[in-house]
Amino acid sequence: MRFAALLVSLLAAAPAFAWGGAPDWLKQLATTQLPSYPADTAGVALLDEVITTVTPAGEIKTLHRRAHKVLSTSGRDLGYVAVYYDSSTKLTNFQAWAIAANGEEYRVKERDAVETSPFDGELYSDFKAKVLRIPSAEPGSIVAYEYEQIERPYGLQDLWSFQREVPVRRARYTLVLPAGWEYDARWFNAEAKQPAVTGNSYTWEVNDVAAIKEEPGMPDSRAVAARLAVRFHPPGGDARSHRSWNDIARWYNGLLTGRRAATPAIQAKARELTQGKATTYEKIAALGKFAQQDVRYVAIEIGIGGYQPHTANDVFTNRYGDCKDKVTVLASMLNEIGVESYYMLVHTERGVTDKEYPTLRSFNHAIIAVKLPADAPKDLFATVNHPKLGRLLVFDPTNDQIPVGLLPPYLQENRALLVHADGGDMIELAAHAPESSRLARTAKLTLGADGGVSGDVVETRTGASAAATRGALQTLRESERKQYIESGLAYSLTHYQITDLAFENLDDPSKSLVVRYKLAAPAYAKRAANMLLVRPRLLGRKAERIVDLKARKFGYTTDGPTLEVDEIDIVMPAGVVADELPPAAKVSTPVLSYTSESKFEGQTLRYRREYRVNRFAVPLEGIAELNKAYSAILADERSAAVFK
């Protein structure tokens, strides 16, 4: 926050010696007649233009030019422009202009920019940003900027993203190729268009592109935004065009040469960790746990280091590295016990990887696939069957909460490029079964004559459910852990006290996380006339949210597969008689199912429910049914038993 505040103040104070006016192209744009937009529209892109020029040597020069009209005060942010670059990308001609509503013109140049290193989790990276603040970004003003980048990319590709958070009046992409070069183009989430051709220059233009508005639970915007991807092909072809996933996998495999070589120290550690393990799978699990728990996540990425891992020796010696480094040291150790393994490249945002369009831009993360021995357990969730390599265990050693055998939620219903000696294959990673992530909650309570309940609560979590809770608890101090549990209860209870709070297996992701506590909730039962009202549910919330369908454009993503079972027993005071019990609830949709039942047996009010979620992605047309299901669950959670 301190840096963010400083950045803003420096941008406000940035000296501005350039007093030139707006260029003619911008003055011309300023006369553009606009349709009417909703009052809350931040602004409109009058022009979003990219001109990409490829040299015969494969160097790519790209001119970016964009002009916005600010339509409302929420569009003031359009006056901030951040351009990113690294050691292999040269940034030139970065400048910006404004034509204020009163006609005043402004210009700012690259030397007015604030330069910073983006804070994105890396300890060190050569990635940097220059940020310009354009004056007078107020409603009615036109703000514009342009810059050029010259790079020698690892792939002969370009991606034109023309759908943004504001509507676009006109967007244009021009590709200039050297003589004899060809291209192929693919459109995503938009109708394909043909370019206008002039010699070796190809121009695509689209008009009136709707804005992408943030919707709760929507897929990542990169998965739904309209884009054009273009590949360039020199005469005779070039593997850098990445025509297939094989091309990318082969290129990546080339970066791995020698990286996994084991040193005597690595060999010794692999032997030490696997000593006494009865099966190969147990050995795999032990080595996986080492890479996950004992190699600290530290990212140092310079140049090709964004893709190429450090050597296994470096990672092992330092006991730190990034995702691909963790895979490297694990692969090296697995090799020592005779187990083959493979890098897998993935994107942590579901839906960003399009299996039909090979591109390096599909990936931001590396995980590992391990060839399983024949005697490996059959009930592992995180496995795929490869036609040639056989049964593979997929594992993410960077995630320190999800044990070997499971995939973290962000990798389920996702895709990964499996890199092997013969090339690569795009692999579908299915959602796990609900049983992979369990929450079992039991409460044995007694209702006192004063209306208060008290007793024991036990919550047992596995898989992703355990990982989420464990991850939150591990970052907290002991006193804060109690507050965390107390804060969660506040969604269900108003007045309560917990004592004897205890955690089991908090530091061991391979085991169930158990939370035990004694609960006392005074005045839980409510008196109304001669009735005693008791909510059988007591604890826990299942429905995620009621999705607002008014103007909704995209599908919804659930929190993922889970199986949750609540068993709550409340012993009622002697002499109390049930007058009415809530009806049983039963909800079943392709996404989730829910059942609940309240019974009064002996003198005990028994509440049982089961909540099962099967998948992540819910299409837009399925949300209404999901809302109905969530509403039914909410109604059940509110329902009360009436006693007299």
Partner 1 sequence: MRRLPLVFSLLLLLPLTAYGAWGRPNKDFKQPTPAELSMTSVDFAPGAPAVILDWIARHDDDNSFASEHVRIKVLTAEGKKYGDIELMYVPGYTALSDIKARVIQPDGKVVPFTGKMYDKLVIRSGGYKVMQKTFSLPDVQPGSIIEYRFERTWPITSYMPSTWVLQRELPIARTQIWVKPYTGDITSFFLSKGLTKEQSPKLIDDHYELELTNTAAFEEEPYSPSDDELKPRVSFYYTVGKPDVEKYWSETGKDWADAIERFIGNRSGITKVANEITAGAVSNDDKLRRLYARVQQLRNLSFEEDKTIQETRREKLKDSRHVEHVLTAGYGYRNELNRLFVAFARAAGFQSSIVCVSQRDQMFFAKQMLDRNQIESEVAVVTIDGEEKYFDPGTPHLPYGLLSWENTLTPGLKLVRKTPGTWLNMPDQTAVLAQTRRRADLALDGDVLKGKVTVTWVGQEAVRRRLEAHTHDDAANKKTLEDEAKAWFPDGSTVTLASMPNLKSSDDTLVAEYTVEVANLGTNAGSRTLVPLAVFSSTRKNPFSAEQRKHPVYFRYPHLVDDEVVLKLPEGLAVESLPKSQNLDLGGAGLSTTWKNAGGSVTLNRKMFVNTVLIAQNNYPALRRFYAEVGNVDQEALVLRKAAQ
Contact positions with partner 1 (CB under 8 A) in 516-545: 522-523, 526, 528-529, 531, 533, 543, 545
User: Which token pair is 232?
Assistant: 């360039």
Kindly tell me which of 61 and 128 has the beta carbon lying closer to partner 1: 128
DSSP E strand stretches across 430-525? 438-447, 453-461, 497-504, 513-521
Q: Does 551 bind partner 1 (CB under 8 A)?
A: no
Q: Does 139 bind partner 1 (CB under 8 A)?
A: yes
* Identity at 278, one-letter amino acid code: A
Is-contact 608 597, C-beta < 8 A? yes
Largest CA distance in the chain: 94
Kindly tell me which of 147 and 162 has the beta carbon lying closer to partner 1: 147
Cβ-Cβ contacts under 8 Å for 190 (sequence gap 6 or more): 163, 206, 226, 227, 228
Report DSSP letters for 294-362, one per residue. ISEE--EE-GGGGTSPPPHHHHHHHTEE-HHHHHHHHHHHHHHTT--EEEEEE-SSTT---TTS--GGG
Candidates 278-286, 456-464, 546-554, 618-626 — which segment interacts with partner 1 by CB under 8 A?
546-554
Binding track, positions 20-49, relative to partner 1; x by CB under 8 A: ------------------xxx---------
Q: Supply the minimum distance, in Å, between the C-beta of residue 117 and partner 1.
A: 5
Kindly tell me which of 424 and 509 has the beta carbon lying closer to partner 1: 509
How many angstroms separate the Cα of 32 from the Cα of each of 345, 482, 547? 45, 60, 37
Torsion of CA 488, 493, 497, 498, to 10 degrees: -40
Candidates 175-183, 206-214, 255-263, 472-480 — which segment interacts with partner 1 by CB under 8 A?
472-480
User: Which token pair is 11?
Assistant: 């941008």
Kindly tell me which of 95 and 157 has the beta carbon lying closer to partner 1: 95
Contacting residue, 32, 88, 116, 446, with partner 1 by CB under 8 A: 116
Taking the CA of residue 588 as centre, how many other CA atoms within 13 Å lie in the half-sphere pointing to its CB?
A: 2
Q: Does 508 bind partner 1 (CB under 8 A)?
A: no
Place of tokens 């699990």: 285
Which residues from 47-106 bind partner 1, rule CB under 8 A? 72-74, 76, 104, 106
Kindly tell me which of 15 and 35 has the beta carbon lying closer to partner 1: 15
Q: Supply the minimum distance, in Å, between the C-beta of residue 466 and partner 1.
A: 16
How many angstroms separate the Cα of 236 from the Cα of each of 74, 180, 230, 248? 51, 10, 18, 18
Nearest by Cα to 616 from 455, 417, 421, 407: 407
Taking the CA of residue 187 as centre, how many other CA atoms within 13 Å lie in the half-sphere pointing to its CB?
A: 14
* Identity at 32, one-letter amino acid code: T
User: Which token pair is 62?
Assistant: 């790209």
Q: How far is CA 261 from the centre of its chain?
A: 32
Which residues from 418-457 bind partner 1, rule CB under 8 A? none
Which residues from 562-591 bind partner 1, rule CB under 8 A? 579-583
Which residues from 305-324 bind partner 1, rule CB under 8 A? 317-320
Q: Does 296 bind partner 1 (CB under 8 A)?
A: yes
Kindly tell me which of 184 and 580 has the beta carbon lying closer to partner 1: 580
Q: Supply the minimum distance, in Å, between the C-beta of residue 257 and partner 1.
A: 23
Kindly tell me which of 130 and 231 has the beta carbon lying closer to partner 1: 130
Candidates 15-23, 150-158, 218-226, 335-343 — which segment interacts with partner 1 by CB under 8 A?
15-23
Q: Across the strands, what pairs with 158?
A: 230
Which residues from 341-400 bind partner 1, rule CB under 8 A? 400
Q: Supply the minimum distance, in Å, between the C-beta of residue 628 and partner 1.
A: 11
Kindly tell me which of 109 and 608 has the beta carbon lying closer to partner 1: 109
Candidates 172-180, 387-395, 468-476, 554-562 — which segment interacts with partner 1 by CB under 8 A?
468-476
Q: Supply the minimum distance, in Å, between the C-beta of residue 316 and partner 1.
A: 9
Q: Does 480 bind partner 1 (CB under 8 A)?
A: yes
Q: Supply the minimum distance, in Å, between the C-beta of residue 343 and partner 1.
A: 23
Q: φ and ψ at 311, to 5 degrees?
A: -70, 155
Q: Supply the minimum distance, in Å, between the C-beta of residue 441 and partner 1.
A: 19
Contacting residue, 34, 123, 421, 433, with partner 1 by CB under 8 A: 123
User: Which token pair is 644?
Assistant: 């007299």
Give the total of residues touching partner 1 (CB under 8 A).
94
Nearest by Cα to 371 from 357, 346, 392: 392
Residue 596 and residue 637: Cα distance in Å, rounded?
9
Kindly tell me which of 133 and 169 has the beta carbon lying closer to partner 1: 133
